[in-house]
A = this chain, B = another copy of it.
């Protein structure tokens, strides 16, 4: 998962674009903390700064001062395994015969390996192992006077989930794949009138922009000084919007696919209270993602909502495991029970999903050790039984506990007194819109887009290990 943000204003707004991108990315920080980067265009050249870490740590005042211009875009990247081969931080910038281009991408292509092989056989040289770079090479091989045309030609060969931004001399271009897997919204900044693009609408609030609309699946929008023009990629019969964005990934104050996330989650919690009631004393969320569903559950069930688990937000990137002596350390370091709220009570624990089961098992144990009389786990989505091929960083199928175990077995594994999931139908009801317009592959296994054989193979892409120094 990643967060992307772009802004394109009047050439008059000289210095501001990168600063606005900085704020937008900061609001999208929950979508990825591993690396971040911003590129700006000042009318004659691109300016780039990327770094490993969080937005507020990487960008200093002087960095933003070195990113002048009225057009900018940026990226926050989620930690993914196996990417240490070479730098995959975004934006990726290149020079082509159409001039300098910068690309930023949220999603996952499903046929990039084959395209990459073809391009390499033809003599293209890749800088990264990122699927994003494939799009740039396709564009470089098919230059057009109009960059949008070159991009659309490239996207016609590409399959997968993507919401992308392209910074060029000709404009800021936003594109969403024909399936519309990932969200991408258009906003307008009050005052400057600049056009904004963001993975989630919460990125608009801080900089005083308001949501205009989402890009349609398959839509390509180019902004030139804030003026928008729209193009369409060849259509698919039905979009496949990612339902998991609502369940877990997005911020509760964002509006995704036409509905506020907080509202959707509360509806899921309420539906869960109706479908899976249980005699209990308190409803306790697993913070932060379970909070709204727990509020919905509590209200619908009439049971008291309690903050029985406190989250510690100070976990740094290199938190040290102090030996093997502390049981459930990985969870305890983040969550601590409030004994007075749990002791002697029958607790309903609300969480958004169970992936491997190990974390849930630890949480249940912690809650029991704090004195809970009973622990009933309620999950505000169906069992996660299939990996995502469209940009969510789930483990392989065999690591997903629900891929091989039924609810009863999972309940036993995590040590709860009872366990219930929300049905797929109820999740989709909470989201609004046609139920067929959502991708629910991680729960149902019915994938809307086939993964190319080369991509499945997953062989090593880059036989080069680099440990370059700062400043290179």
Q: Which chain A residues have a beta carbon within 8 Å of chain B's beta carbons?
A: 16, 19-20, 22-23, 26-27, 29-30, 33, 35, 37, 44-61, 63-64, 66, 87, 89, 93-97, 99-100, 120-121, 123-127, 136-137, 140-143, 191, 202, 205-208, 251-253, 260, 262-263, 291-292, 295, 299, 304-307, 310, 312-320, 322-323, 325-326, 329, 332-333, 336-341, 461-472
Can you tell how many copies of this chain the complex includes? 4
Q: Which of B37, B125, B260 contacts A95 (CB 8 A)?
A: B125
Query: With the chains together, A87 CA to B467 CA distance in Å?
Result: 14
A51-B471, A206-B336, A307-B295 given; A59·B320 CB < 8 A:
yes
Query: With the chains together, A202 CA to B314 CA distance in Å?
Result: 14
Q: A206-B336, A468-B472, A470-B470 given; name 7 further pairs at CB < 8 Å.
A: A27-B336, A51-B469, A51-B472, A94-B126, A97-B120, A252-B338, A295-B306
A305-B295, A320-B22 given; A336·B56 CB < 8 A:
no
Q: Can you list 8 contacts pairing A with B, beta carbon distance less than 8 Å?
A: A19-B323, A51-B471, A53-B469, A125-B137, A125-B140, A205-B336, A252-B310, A262-B307
A74 to chain B, nearest CB (A): 13
Whether A262 lies near B340 (C-beta < 8 A) is yes
A113 to chain B, nearest CB (A): 13
Whether B322 lies near A20 (C-beta < 8 A) is yes
Q: Which of B253, B326, B468 contacts A310 (CB 8 A)?
A: B253
Query: With the chains together, A55 CA to B320 CA distance in Å?
Result: 10
Whether B463 lies near A46 (C-beta < 8 A) is yes
Q: A22 — which chain B residues lie within 8 A by C-beta?
A: 320, 322
A333-B26, A339-B260, A463-B95 given; A468·B51 CB < 8 A:
yes
Q: Which of B205, B292, B322, B463 contacts A100 (CB 8 A)?
A: B463
Chain B residue at minimum C-beta to C-beta distance from A23: B322
Query: With the chains together, A205 CA to B121 CA distance in Å?
Result: 43
Q: A53 — which chain B residues lie within 8 A by C-beta?
A: 469
Q: A338 — which chain B residues lie within 8 A by C-beta?
A: 252-253, 260, 262
Whether A49 lies near B120 (C-beta < 8 A) is no
Chain B residue at minimum C-beta to C-beta distance from A40: B465
A123-B143, A314-B54, A469-B50 given; A340·B260 CB < 8 A:
yes
